[in-house]
Chains A and B, each alone.
Chain A
Amino acid sequence: MGKHIITVTKGSILKREKAGCGECQSSCQSACKTSCTVGNQSCLHERGTEINKD
């Protein structure tokens, strides 16, 4: 953590490029009925669960 810059999150986009498995737990179409933000879904490989579920 720097004195002038605090990094909140470090992305991992290259790691994601290797994924593309299409096994996302929630499809975008369900999300679309609630919202249209694809970015609010989680990857099972990354997290093991879906963010929209408690």
Chain B
Amino acid sequence: MIHCFEVNGCKLVFDVHSLSLHRVDDLVWDILNGRAPGKGYLPGEVEEARHEIEELRRAGVLFAPDPIVTYEPPETPLKSLCLNVAHSCNLACRYCFAGSGRYGSGPALMPREVGRRAVEMLLERSGTRRRLEIDFFGGEPLLNFEVVQDIVTYARERAAAVGKEINFTLTTNGVLLDDAVGEFLLKEAVNVVLSIDGRPGVHDRMRPTPDGRGTHNLIISRARRFAERWDQWSGTKGYFYVRGTYTRHNLDFDADYRYLADFGFRHISIEPVVSEDNEYGLREEDLSAVSKAYQRLAEDYLARVRQGRRVRFFHFEVDLDGGPCLPKLLSGCGAGQAYLAVAANGTLYPCHQLVGQENFKIGDVFRGVNNSTIPRSFTAAHVYAKEHCRSCWAKYLCSGGCHAGAYLVNRDIYKPNRISCAIMRARLETALYVKAVETLLAVSKHSEEA
């Protein structure tokens, strides 16, 4: 299976089953798209192009056969926990999937004992896995900073005692990210994902305080201060991403990437809100504008690369030759089996987006998983089990999409959200374009130097 696409005038062919990417000229483009080559080619050129296509086919990097005949997903031990240390928030973001961080109930903070028990459960259920993950999430996790600190210390000690390592990530809105908190996160090499949407008007519209005030100025100053300290930190450190969200109110979100990049942030992600149930969620009629915004963003990104000041954009980080293994590409995030979410009271769910949904409770940290049906259904929801994914060119790069996203829109984890899929394909095409331009740029530079 191949996918032919064009971005900003660059004609590309992606070979789905070998994950190979080729840049082609107009002649090959016409041949692969089943069109008769136009006039004006030199004698023998068409033959020559067909020969190149055939050579790549024989090499297994064009029209490669599907490597999967039958697929039985393996049972995998637990690897990651999302700890909802605070079901409470100091902001009132309009697009919050967790309902102001409360997940459908009253505000709550995770007690230390629940957090520690979650750590024990992770170690007990991780089998032979050595590298484990804990993500502090909420609500706003820094509202329960003492417990975050306690869990990091406790988990590190307990993991070391059994020969394992735990990496930590904290997702925060930045309101409480002062120097003391920053010092702790840097010293402990905690990965930080800080939410900021970009330009002041864009950010303030969607991320106000509970009494309706804008938060852009506060958050940008917190984020810049932490970024400066992160840059200067000489010890081992985690990654630091600023993470924005775009809606149909900022379909020119490439301007928000530019805004954040110009502020000096070097790792940026911007995610869409997809929903037809509100006035800000992306819809079918927005797809063309979204695609164009990714293409503009790609040119901005590449201009910075050419100037030697790359500002990473998470969605362009597709790694075709060193990326995840096939089992992971087929099964996606591992929700429900390798990955579980822990509510503030210790209740277990397949993933953070499903916390608070009664029908997805699968146990608690004290008694473990007592519902195996739901985890099994998540494990079975791999790419080849989803009708809409089997024939999709992007299947190995998006891994079937987000189970929770599919459920929340279609009430079926096997039926991906159509709009999310379209956005995913648009940004993957742009990411592959960026990959092609960057790779060819590097080759050309190398040739010049030689």
By a beta-carbon cutoff of 8 Å, the part of chain A in contact with chain B is: 2-14, 16-43, 45-47, 51-54
| Binary per-residue interface labels of chain B (386-400) against chain A in the complex, 1 for a CB within 8 Å, 0 otherwise | 000000000011110
In angstroms, Cα B269 to Cα A9, docked, is 24
By a beta-carbon cutoff of 8 Å, the part of chain B in contact with chain A is: 12-13, 15, 17-25, 27-28, 45, 48-49, 52-53, 55-56, 59, 61, 64, 67, 74, 76-77, 79-80, 82, 129-131, 133, 135, 137, 167, 169, 171, 191, 193, 239, 241, 243, 266-267, 269, 271, 312, 314-315, 317-329, 332-335, 338-339, 351-352, 396-399, 401-402, 405, 424, 427-428, 431, 435-436, 439-440
Nearest-CB residue, chain B, relative to A20: B327
Q: Is there contact, CB below 8 Å, between A20 and B21?
A: no
Q: Is there contact, CB below 8 Å, between A22 and B77?
A: yes
What are the residues of chain B within 8 A of A4 when measuring CB–CB? 24-25, 27-28, 45, 48-49, 52
Say what secondary structure dominates the interface of chain A. loop
Q: Is there contact, CB below 8 Å, between A8 and B435?
A: yes
In angstroms, Cα B241 to Cα A43, docked, is 20
Q: Is there contact, CB below 8 Å, between A39 and B319?
A: yes
What are the residues of chain B within 8 A of A51 when measuring CB–CB? 317, 319, 322
Q: Is there contact, CB below 8 Å, between A8 and B23?
A: yes
Q: Is there contact, CB below 8 Å, between A38 and B333?
A: yes
What are the residues of chain B within 8 A of A26 when measuring CB–CB? 133, 167
Q: Is there contact, CB below 8 Å, between A27 and B133?
A: yes
Q: Is there contact, CB below 8 Å, between A13 and B67?
A: yes
* Cβ of A49 to closest chain B Cβ, rounded Å: 9
Q: Is there contact, CB below 8 Å, between B319 and A10?
A: no
Q: Is there contact, CB below 8 Å, between B269 and A35?
A: yes
Q: Is there contact, CB below 8 Å, between A16 and B329?
A: yes
* Cβ of B101 to closest chain A Cβ, rounded Å: 14
Q: Is there contact, CB below 8 Å, between A29 and B133?
A: yes
Q: Is there contact, CB below 8 Å, between B25 and A43?
A: no
In angstroms, Cα B339 to Cα A13, docked, is 24
9 cross-chain CB contacts under 8 A? A16-B326, A23-B130, A28-B339, A29-B133, A35-B314, A37-B398, A39-B329, A45-B325, A51-B317
Contact A17 to B325, CB < 8 A, known contacts A9-B20, A10-B61, A39-B319: yes
Known A9-B439, A39-B428; further 13 A-B contacts with Cβ < 8 A:
A2-B55, A4-B27, A5-B56, A8-B20, A13-B64, A13-B67, A19-B325, A27-B80, A28-B80, A29-B82, A33-B243, A37-B315, A37-B424
Q: Is there contact, CB below 8 Å, between A27 and B23?
A: no
Q: Is there contact, CB below 8 Å, between A13 and B338?
A: no
What are the residues of chain B within 8 A of A35 when measuring CB–CB? 269, 271, 314-315
User: Residue A43 contacts which of B52, B322, B396 (CB distance < 8 angstroms)?
Assistant: B322
Contact A7 to B398, CB < 8 A, known contacts A29-B339, A39-B319: no
User: Residue A41 contacts which of B324, B338, B427 (CB distance < 8 angstroms)?
Assistant: B324
